[in-house]
A = this chain, B = another copy of it.
């Protein structure tokens, strides 16, 4: 396979363990970011290395995060600290015939870089993009951020450039000698699924994004 838009792997992003699971094309990386609401951001300061979960979204070739100006992570990240952002989707437990070959199916993306601060009109637009990712149409329904709220919020982005994806799919890969062992083998799949919306107030009815969420939650999970 020779994907288009592939960034050559760097010393940091080249997948070494089970190298055939590595992917460097943008389409794959973007799909993994788009499927996520949360990423983990690693950074170092005088107290050591930290790993903090935070909401994320994508626009073009950048991954965005946001938070309060007071956040230790955002303060540090705005000062040009090198960071590593990782997203992981667990897709299933792989049950092999030998203990050693048990595995997991997953899609992960690792992005190295430095955060840029997003300011002015681009900042408000980026926050709207995030609300739209969560609930299409909602950025026009809610009260928009006022000048103080926007000023209290930091928006950062990192280029999805020095980045790698790693993906495992499929069933167990056992040793030939174990194939006749009398034991169940296969995959126990897992997925993040919507559950029934919890209504706080619905003064003007149910918007499409809530109705769709409810429909998915109500559908049989096994389908």
Contacts and interface: CB of A to CB of B under 8 A. Distances in A.
Q: Taking the full assembly, how many copies of this chain does it contain?
A: 2
Nearest to A198: B187
Contacts of A176: none
Given A93-B37, A102-B134, A181-B142, A198 B186 contact: yes
Contacts of A71: 17
Interface of A: 11-12, 16-17, 37-38, 40-44, 47-53, 55, 67-68, 70-72, 82-86, 88, 90, 92-93, 95-100, 102, 104, 106, 108, 110, 112, 127-128, 131, 134-135, 138-139, 141-146, 149, 153, 171-172, 178, 180-207, 210, 213, 216-222
Given A102-B131, A221-B220, A186 B203 contact: no
B100 A153 contact: yes
B49 A49 contact: yes
B201 A185 contact: yes
Contact of A50 (B12, B88, B144): B12
Contacts of A72: 16-17
A84 B183 contact: no
